[in-house]
């Protein structure tokens, strides 16, 4: 049971690894961006795992709820809520850069782009 309580964090670490490996090992830029978004989601998962309280409920106070109702921690939720929207905007920016690279070089593979740069 104790180890299952840490499962969220282990998955967080594994997702970080997958995301980082995707960024480092793949030369395709779009693939790297997808890896980046996996990395990002791993961080979201870490924060949201922290907000859970046993027997709690979402931090929206119901009018008729008993006074001893336990609520989840609202603070990580606020941070991640904004981070998701910021994340999609920055991903869009990265994709825009990738599109411009494709137009300029005709490819989105980093190794080929480097070759072309060396030839110049």
Partner 1 sequence: MTIVFSLFLLSMLVLVAVAVLRTDNLFTAVMLSGVFSLIMAANFFVLDAADVALTEAVIGAGISTVLFLGALALTSEQDRSPPVGSWVPLLTSSALGGVIIYAVMQAPRLGDPNAIVHMHVAPWYLEKTPELIDVPNVVTAVLASFRGYDTLGEVFVVFIACIGVMSLLGRVRPRRETISEETFSKQSRNLRHHLIPRVVGKMLIPFIVLFGLYVQFHGDFGPGGGFQAGALVAAGIILYALLEGDTRARQLVPEWFSSVLVALGAFTYASVGVACMVMGGRFLDYSVLDPHDAIHGQHLGILLVEAGVGMTVAGVMITIFHAFARRGIR
Partner 2 sequence: MEWIYFVTCIGILVTMVLAVVRGLVGPSIFDRVLAVNMFGTKTVLFLAVVSFLSGRPDFLDLALAYALINFIGVFAVLLFFQSREVRRAAEAENEARR
Of residues 85-114, which lie at the interface with partner 1 (CB under 8 A)? 85-86, 88-93, 95-100, 102-104, 106-109, 111
Q: Residue 65 Cβ, how far from partner 2 at the closest point, in Å?
A: 10
Say whether residue 53 binds partner 2 (CB under 8 A): no
Say whether residue 117 binds partner 1 (CB under 8 A): no
Nearest-CA neighbor of 46 among 21, 77, 82? 77
Rule CB under 8 A: choose which of 70, 114, 115, 116 binds partner 1. 70
Residue 77 · residue 48 · CB < 8 Å? yes
Question: Tokens 């979402």 map to which residue?
Answer: 58
Q: Which does 54 bind (CB under 5 to 8 A by kind): partner 2, partner 1, none?
A: partner 1
Say whether residue 57 binds partner 2 (CB under 8 A): yes
Quick one: which H or E segment has residue 45?
Answer: helix 29-51
48 CB-near residues (< 8 Å, 6+ apart): 76, 77, 80
Say whether residue 74 binds partner 2 (CB under 8 A): no
Region 35-64 residues binding partner 1, contact defined as CB under 8 A: 35, 37-38, 41, 44-45, 48-54, 56-63
Q: How far is CA 18 from CA 96, 110, 111, in A?
A: 24, 19, 21
């Amino acid at each position: 049971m104790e180890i299952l309580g840490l499962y969220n964090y282990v998955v967080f670490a594994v997702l970080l690894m997958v995301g980082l490996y995707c960024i480092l090992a793949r030369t395709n830029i779009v693939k790297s961006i997808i890896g980046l978004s996996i990395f990002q989601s791993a961080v979201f998962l870490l924060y949201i795992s922290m907000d859970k309280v046993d027997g709690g409920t979402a931090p929206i106070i119901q009018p008729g709820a008993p006074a001893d109702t336990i609520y989840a921690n609202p603070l990580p939720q606020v941070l991640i809520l904004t981070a998701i929207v910021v994340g999609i905007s920055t991903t869009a920016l990265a994709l825009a850069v990738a599109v411009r690279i494709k137009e300029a070089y005709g490819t989105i593979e980093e190794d080929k782009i480097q070759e072309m740069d060396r030839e110049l």
